[in-house]
Amino acid sequence: MGICIIAEAGVNHNGDVNTARRLVDVARAAGANCVKFQTFRAKNLASCGAGRAAYQKVTVGEGSQQDMLRRLELSYKEFAELKEYCVQAGIQFLSTPFDLESIDFLISMDMPFWKIPSGEITNLPYLLRIARTGKPVVLSTGMSTLEEVSAAMEVLKKDGSGPVTLLHCNTEYPTPMKDVNLRAMLTLRDTFHCEVGYSDHTLGIDIPIAAAALGAIIIEKHFTLDRNMEGPDHKASLEPEGLTAMVRGIRNVELALGTGVKEPSESEEKNIAIARKSIVALRNIRKGEVFTGENITVKRPGNGVSPMRWFEVLGTQAVRDFQEDELISL
């Protein structure tokens, strides 16, 4: 299938299903493979005393997580409608569950794989519930150590999950460039001998495209209708034009990576004779004259005797007369 691009709508619908539908349309138009939401019940996800992250305080102000999340909920009925809307639009529906009740609901959505967010990597009951469905898993690894990733992988594999793909991730919104540590994606691949990808929270599209060039098979990126909308994640999201540009850049990288076989491409074969050189007469040469460094040289075009045969030609006799600049033949 190539690189799977997940357009992360998340909660950028601000609790409005019509806005969510517009996000589906944007993701489809941009060429993403999947559009992903977040399914949760605020009361199950955060206690009433849980505070907001620093970036959330900047974007939506002080207060409790639960109050913020309650305004961002969609109902299970609305998610079912969104799934059908995605089917009609021709894009894969995904949603990340953030509590056990939401896992049970999303089982009915028949998604091709589970996307586990970074914050649940140490949530044993959650990992067990996911694993026991037997479906493939895509696991984000933001904020985690290799030991924590290893523990989560052991739980998933031991309890029956399908294949696990690990996404390198930094859980800061937006992520400073100095903290991206993109090579850690390769560390995950080499340590756990599995497919890897990248979930991006930087500003712009440079790093997702770089991740594609490094071998990511999944790229996930937040997007929004308008970065000036009120809500916790809009500021660190791409607007529609940016999402389209990112998808285009990743697809170009995907094409450019090629097969790995080093051979002339179809497009460059016509240039071989033009760009390479052949052995030619440096001056007029008479039949029977011995070829030396004084009467032959190397010039374009490259459709004659290859200069790699230079020493094979030296010391032989001309089989006929040659004019200056004429291709030598043996």
Which residue stretches of the chain have pLDDT < 50?
A: none
Write the pLDDT tens digit of every residue in 185-239.
Answer: 999 999 999 999 999 999 999 999 999 999 999 999 999 999 999 988 999 999 9
Residue 93 confidence (pLDDT): 98
C-alpha dihedral sign at 263, 265, 269, 275: negative
Per-residue pLDDT at 149: 98
Taking only Cα atoms into account, the Rg of the chain, rounded to an integer number of angstroms, comes to: 29
Q: Looking at residue 129, what is its pLDDT? A: 98
Q: What is the per-residue pLDDT for 43?
A: 83
Q: Which domains does the chain have, with CATH numbers?
A: 4-257 (3.20.20.70), 264-330 (3.90.1210.10)
**Sign of torsion, CA 301 306 311 314?**
negative
Residues 6+ positions from 168 with CB-CB distance below 8 Å: 141, 181, 182, 184, 185, 188, 196, 197, 198, 199, 211
Residue 131: its pLDDT value, please?
98
pTM for this structure?
0.90
pLDDT at res. 1: 66
Tokens linked to 192: 């756990």
